[in-house]
Amino acid sequence: MQANGIETLRLLKELRELTANAEGAQRVAWTDTWLQARRWFESKLEGLPVEHHYDAAGNHWVTLQGRSEKCLILGSHLDSVPNGGWLDGALGVLAGFAVLRRVIDESVGPPPVTIRLVDWADEEGARFGRSLFGSSAFAGTASIESDRSRTDSHGVRLEDALKKCGVDIDFIGEATHERRDAAAYLELHIEQGPILERLALPLAVVLGTKGVERHAVTFRGEEAHSGSTPMGARRDALAPAAKLALEIRPIASKHPDAVCTMGSVKTFPGIVTAVVGRCETALDQRDLDAEVLASMLKEAREASERFALEENCAVEWSRIWSIEPVPFHPALIELCEQALEEVAGVSYRMPSGPLHDAAEVARAGIPTVMLFVQSLRGISHNKIENTKEDHIALAVQALDRLATKTMAWIGRQ
């Protein structure tokens, strides 16, 4: 017996019918449409031999008690961005549901390990700018004081929006209780990027989520008149910035999955009749390997100093934000690879650029792995987000196969 991917597709379409409009999915966390999606999902649990409840951070847990207390957790998120896609998050929850149904349907007694399905609260952070809300409360990495007074675009406070949905921000830390007996976490998600489509592959094993180093890099020269200042006498702050913008390509391309982006360049005074006196840039660097990330940062910094010297300018760096890479569990990566080979005849390993709830679960020390299914044109967070139906069915089968392997792995621990 295998999980029913056709039924998953039917449910995904039913959810889309219920919670999307002409602009796309509208299941923004802490809104009525999101609550409607969650009630719809609750209705699918009727008559099944499961317990379900919402934890202190609003994560929805469905538990099928096994012979062992040790749990296999499957999950993702039902919330979406405004005008979002039909698959981002919802696929992972409903595919996990298909696996749960398969285990219930085929077993005469309880399964060997307890299986839990989780719908994380507010993965997207679309309304209050706080991504991974529920999973970070679960992981114990949430910061209540800095989140309490966040407001949405209408001035509604996060604390008040939570209260309307039955969540008291002062108690979200109690969501860590759900970590009890957690032995492994699996999440299926759409890739949200173009790599698998380019390689003509349906599925990939996700090695982890990339770390990020994001810095403001400011070059200082001297403002001078564009007409009267000879070329040799200039201290043009745009020049070293321009050199750095090109230098980050060879810095990144030494590593197969690394990316470096200079996404913002501002010149001051910013008029064509003056040599640039100050150039403010921002640099974003990402990789799955902390050492690679650190060495790319060092190289970019040294290059910026060299270019500043060449152009008779000064440079300063200040960190805007950083997060460390979160590698997934080696044994589960192996099992996932086997599962993909069995159902699709081929497997591929790749890191995730975007963060996911799985990263928070892994940070909590729970063995974790994700699998990606191809996204058409790599587009997500948009109403045209899509994946081929046969790939969705294959992804459900792969998750199912991986769940079976992981249950056996948990039994051996």
The residue ranges that bind Zn ion (CB under 5 A) are 88-89
Closest distance of CB 160 from Zn ion, Å: 25
Name the helix (H) or strand (E) containing 113. strand 113-119
CB of 207 or CB of 241, closer to Zn ion: 207
Closest distance of CB 79 from Zn ion, Å: 9
Closest distance of CB 22 from Zn ion, Å: 22
Contacts of residue 83, Cβ cutoff 8 Å, sequence gap at least 6: 23, 24, 25, 26, 382, 383
Q: Which of 79, 152, 114 is nearest to 381 (CA)?
A: 79
CB of 188 or CB of 313, closer to Zn ion: 188
Q: Which of 74, 61, 70, 77 is nearest to 103 (CA)?
A: 74
Closest distance of CB 88 from Zn ion, Å: 4
**Contact, 189 vs 370, CB < 8 A?**
yes
Contacts of residue 204, Cβ cutoff 8 Å, sequence gap at least 6: 191, 195, 196, 340, 347, 348, 349, 350, 371, 372
Closest distance of CB 189 from Zn ion, Å: 6
**Contact, 217 vs 244, CB < 8 A?**
yes
CB of 58 or CB of 89, closer to Zn ion: 89
Tell me the residue nearest to Zn ion as measured from the CB.
Answer: 89
Q: Could you write out the DSSP letters of every residue in 299-320?
A: HHHHHHHHHHHHTT-EEEEEEE
CB of 196 or CB of 407, closer to Zn ion: 196
CB of 65 or CB of 131, closer to Zn ion: 131
CB of 93 or CB of 239, closer to Zn ion: 93
Residue 320: both structure tokens together = 């805007």
Closest distance of CB 77 from Zn ion, Å: 6
